[in-house]
Structure 1
């Protein structure tokens, strides 16, 4: 039996992809972003796509149109936009009544109408403590009032085999069985201090039967080299996979798509050529150093550590640690997708910046998969 899900605030389909990896099938996806939905539709052509502001979609009309009875849908998943909670917004500009903070209530309206057996709501970790915990308490109490058992927790993607130290908060709710968050499967140093010379896999593993963190080299070391502004047009893989992770990403794919390196300005290229693996703006000579910069700006990734959070600005070297470890360019869309755990068979559409946004604003699929697998385990 194939378990059906509906993805609200679906974006390009990161959470959907994780659930598909676990054996679910998406019945419907809703988002206001037409470009992201074009990518979603390309990868999931059998899913009903609704391009609309979700606040203008009637939950009851949609349920009837999909021919679903209440408590028939296995899962309702999604990540309401989180800008109003994000730590990237200065504290003085965060307001409880900010319209960007209200879309979780729309999500809960769909839960009330469909009464799915399971609910997965994803967001930034700050939502669990935002406004002294008011948001977390409201979401939990609303779900409990509908008869759900609810748990919530922030998970770091690196602890689940994803080569990126991205943290996301999840609310899991069930009408049937008690759910449990999956135990970490990978262990290592995920501190943000990238000045350490020791790789994460050289550290002592403190727990048995847990794998070392997946690194940038594990994820993208097999992809062909490029110069800034160059695209890989041959498409075929030039060599066999070198790691288990690479083999997993290549599953059901025979070509390399979206392996395109963005062109750099002369000063960006000079900065890249000056920096060695792991270095960043702090290591640039005065004539190349930016006057102001973010932490990790113009930084090269380390080969033997996970990447830091892949954001929508992954195409811009001044916005984070997005230079390739050794090649004089930023990472390609395919490399960013690999670091985010999108399989190679997942193809992105749009401009370079469109595709970067689709990756950076999505849930790492493998993190979605471990959540989906925990639901399957409880449901069996």
Structure 2
């Protein structure tokens, strides 16, 4: 069977594309068209894939006369900030509406199916109802669900919503959600246990500098911050699995006043990862421990960019372009390739059976 043609909208650095086209994850697809508005992300995408992505806003693709190629599958994750719990007060966020040009390109491409990925809150929004209604109008049936990345071999407890659309008059329904390949340690399962932080990054030596170095992978991204003496003391006050509340108890004299006044709240802030568990969700500022549970399990520092990339499941031979902040954004915004690969295999089985 020849390669199945995909279009990747909002492609970012290419985590979704990698999951679909790389034999390590699926490999039965080829990318023929990709778009993103982030310059450094497109530079990363173009460094890693044969077909080059286009730097543009998705609306520009529809109005600029660019020819939409015919494809079998459209994949993409319209920016999720409008649905995010971290952005709950911005009800009129225009990023919510980007599913509309996404579906216009799905229709123009003649695709038989599509995959839309977003934060879990999408599935409880009025926009999801609108997406479903519009998809049905252009001939698609819909399945949706929330997948946990660790269930598919990613060392990270990331949860993402997936919406699968398929032409019911041409295809059999997909077997979605994909069958998990891994299981939580507490489950009585014959599947391998969730991969852990130690399995993902335990072999890496500590960072030796604070800038990108001209060395081979994996150490090209194994750089850290340059903490102040005060920050270093704060890191040391957090025990394995601890968080800002341990800092408050162990060293109140160096705890920020705003944390001392806040006696409750999330337990991941300024938290230290566990060796024997998957990591929490890797977001775009994972190099800042004040943003989440991003302290190294055993060393008094935040995780490095290489460690963030590995916890997302990117192979060491995947090349990132851009500044440190831009690369971190690409990593945190990506779909883990192994998770994308599980969805890709689900679609491949549907297309193979139907053909």
TM-score after normalising by structure 1: 0.83
In 2: Cα distance, 1:231 partner to 1:224 partner: 15
CA contact (8 A) 1:268 1:317 kept: no
Give the direction of change, closer, same or farther, for the CA distance of 1:60–1:350 in structure 2 (3 Å limit): closer
1:171 matches 2:163: yes
**What displacement does 1:301 show?**
0.7
Offset from partner CA, 1:95-145 (integer Å, 9 cap, x none): 2x4312100111011111112122010011001002xxx222221222122
In 1: Cα distance, 2:102 partner to 2:42 partner: 18
Give the direction of change, closer, same or farther, for the CA distance of 1:272–1:108 in structure 2 (3 Å limit): same
CA contact (8 A) 1:227 1:329 kept: no
Of the three residues 280, 286, 291, the one matched with 2:252 is 286
2:262 aligns to what?
none
Give the direction of change, closer, same or farther, for the CA distance of 1:32–1:266 in structure 2 (3 Å limit): same
2:46 partner SS: helix
The correspondence of residues 1-380 of structure 1 with structure 2, limited to 5 A, is 1-21=2-22, 22-23=26-27, 24-44=29-49, 46-58=50-62, 61-63=65-67, 66=69, 68=70, 73-90=71-88, 93-95=89-91, 97-130=92-125, 134-175=126-167, 176-180=171-175, 181-188=177-184, 201=185, 203=186, 205-207=187-189, 209-226=190-207, 229=210, 235=216, 256-284=219-247, 285-292=251-258, 295-380=267-352
**What displacement does 1:231 show?**
6.7
Offset from partner CA, 1:324-358 (integer Å, 9 cap, x none): 11112111111101100111111111111111110
Structure 1 unaligned residues grouped into runs of 5+: 189-200, 237-254
Offset from partner CA, 1:297-345 (integer Å, 9 cap, x none): 2211100011101000101111011111111211111110110011111
Give the direction of change, closer, same or farther, for the CA distance of 1:135–1:230 in structure 2 (3 Å limit): closer
**What displacement does 1:60 show?**
9.4
CA contact (8 A) 2:212 2:220 kept: no
CA contact (8 A) 1:121 1:172 kept: yes
**What displacement does 1:232 show?**
7.2
In 2: Cα distance, 1:267 partner to 1:16 partner: 42
CA contact (8 A) 1:298 1:322 kept: yes
Q: How many residues align?
A: 334
**Where does structure 1 differ by over 6 angstroms across 4 or more consecutive aligned residues?**
230-233
CA contact (8 A) 1:231 1:261 kept: no
Offset from partner CA, 1:140-193 (integer Å, 9 cap, x none): 2221222222101111111111111111101111222211220222221xxxxx
In 2: Cα distance, 1:110 partner to 1:85 partner: 22
RMSD: 2.0
In 1: Cα distance, 2:65 partner to 2:172 partner: 28
